Amino acid sequence: MKSSLANEGSSVQYIDDIFEASGGVAADNLKNKGQCIVLLLFTYLSGNEIEERISFTVFDRTYTLKPKGLKLFEKLPEPSPQLTALIKGMNNSKNSNNSRIAMASIKNLHIFLQSIMDVKHKIEYAYDNTQAIFPVFDKDQIYNKLLDKARGCTSKCPCCERPCDVDHSAIKSNPGDENNRHACQTGHQLRAMAGIKFEISNEASLFQCEQMKEDKPIIVRGTKKKWSEFKKDHTDWDFGNSITPDELFKLHGKFLNVWSRIGPRLCKMYDMKFVTENTPQAAPKPFHYILLLDASGSMEGEPWKNLLDGVKEFINIRIESNAADRMTIIVFDDNAKFAYYNVDIKTTDINRIQFTHGNTNFSNAFDLVVKTMQMAQLQNPMSSSVINLDFIIIFMSDGRAERPDRQIQTLITMKTKIHQFWTVALGYTALDVLEDINRQMGGNFTKLKESVNLVQIYAEIARK
């Protein structure tokens, strides 16, 4: 039909040309003729013959099909029986004027036909790209349940990482549901097997999950939580009942005895240092940390709060390690300023750091980094209480700005004093400038999609 209209001139004028009106205003007739096209197409697609001088009544006006319009339908093939049956089921052509279909008005037949063809292509594309594989149609997860029965559950305890040993196939609900939770029915393993250590002493944790008290702290990806809070985060797991302090103390003593026998061999096997409660822990090497915090408008609200929480966790970890660290905190948007300059890390108060809400400029921020390092090197360690420490720079941003080429080149000349350089990039925007800065500084690049992960990454950096 679209091909037959190719040589008929304007598709808008065509509808006006093929119907003869019994009277009325031209503007109303144009709209009514659009409805006549709907009725004419319905007649054709229903399998009814389009006769010469066929007419339609719309709003008390009669519109008769001219020979020019009749020629169009004489060129077209007859619609298939399946199509005619479908169209007839939609409506009855004798009552079309009183039906919903008669309310439509086609003013441009060419665009109408093209839109139908476009929809066809979209449907075909969607159909061709639909995965016709069993998991897509396995709404009851029969395949997963059979796998669970054949190989057992593959989930691991989120704390000690021992595999779940529950036969989930014995219950109709899905694994992890309230009545079919994961568990280590034969007992959890020592948390040391999953790399869990005590926060301050850095000793391997010899507790099992079922031995934990509700208010006992646990470090989860750099965040300190109570055991009760950790269990709420993993409601798909049954960790067993907590025990009394006396029972815990007795078990801890037994595990220490076991650890004293097998610990040295395990540590030697994995090239680790064996320590006990009586082993004195040397304070870690101190550094001068320079933190660059993005306070531009895009960081407003939750991202800024999470960033400060991450910095607070960072400071707490470094303080608890007993390292004699110094700290400089630079807050920047299109300007930059010192929130803290070369102070004892123990004196920092995160609540004093203010959000500035501007645009983004990296050059001003890195100017202060250069200034901090130059001033520290000019001080005489013999006459100053400030120790000449190596620097660790942590650059955090979620925005785009011009590359601070001049400042980066200056920092490269001072790289012997830069122990580590970290870039923490947040968000979904293009991060090519941040990646380029990190590459020039030979740093560690971390990309985060959600600001809630800032606490975790700052805690991890603090422990490096």
459 and 314 within one domain? yes
Same domain, 305 and 454: yes
Q: Residue 421: pLDDT above 60?
A: yes
Rounded distance between C-alpha atoms, residue 55 and residue 70, angstroms = 12
C-alpha closest to that of 206 among 239, 238, 250, 165: 250
Residue 221 CA to residue 282 CA, distance in Å, equals 24
pLDDT tens-place string over residues 365-418: 999 999 999 988 776 444 444 568 999 999 999 888 999 999 999 999 999 999
Distance spanning both ends of the chain, measured CA to CA: 71
Residue 132 forms part of a structural domain: no
**Which pairing describes strands 182-183 and 19-21: parallel, antiparallel, or unpaired?**
unpaired
**245 and 293 within one domain:** no
> 210 and 262 share a domain?
yes
Q: Which domain holds residue 355?
A: 288-463
The residue whose two tokens read 């009855």 is: 92
Q: Over the stretch 364-374, which tens digit does the pLDDT of each residue have?
A: 999 999 999 99
In angstroms, the CA 330 to CA 293 distance is 6
**Same domain (yes/no): 456, 322:** yes
Q: Could you tell me if 26 and 171 lie in one domain?
A: no
Rounded-to-integer distance, Cα 56 and Cα 361, Å = 70
* E strand intervals along 169-280: 182-183, 217-220, 223-226, 237-238
Which of the pair, 308 or 250, is modelled with greater confidence? Answer: 308
CB 55 within 8 A of CB 63: yes
Residues 221 and 321 reside in one and the same domain: no
Domain assignment of residue 276, yes or no: no
How many domains, the chain? Answer: 3
Domain-located, residue 130: no
Query: Among candidates 122, 187, 123, which has minimal Cα distance to 160?
Result: 187
Residues 189 and 324 both lie in one domain: no
Asked whether residue 293 falls in the same domain as residue 431, the answer is: yes
Provide the residue type at 189 as one letter.
Q
- Say if residue 117 is in the same domain as residue 143: no
Residues 325 and 451 in one domain: yes
Q: What is the pLDDT of residue 282?
A: 65
CATH code where residue 451 lies: 3.40.50.410
Q: What is the pLDDT of residues 86-113, one digit of tens each?
A: 888 876 545 545 544 546 788 888 888 8
- pLDDT, residue 233, reads 86
Q: Which residues contact 204 (CB under 8 A, 6 or more apart)?
A: 190, 192, 196, 197, 198, 259, 263
Residue 242: which pLDDT band, with cuts at 50, 70 and 90?
very low
Residue 241 has pLDDT above 50, yes or no: yes
Q: Please check whether residue 378 is in contact with residue 275, taking contact to mean a CB–CB distance below 8 angstroms.
A: no
For residue 4, tell me if it sits in a domain.
no
> Can you give the pLDDT at residue 278?
54
What's the pTM?
0.44
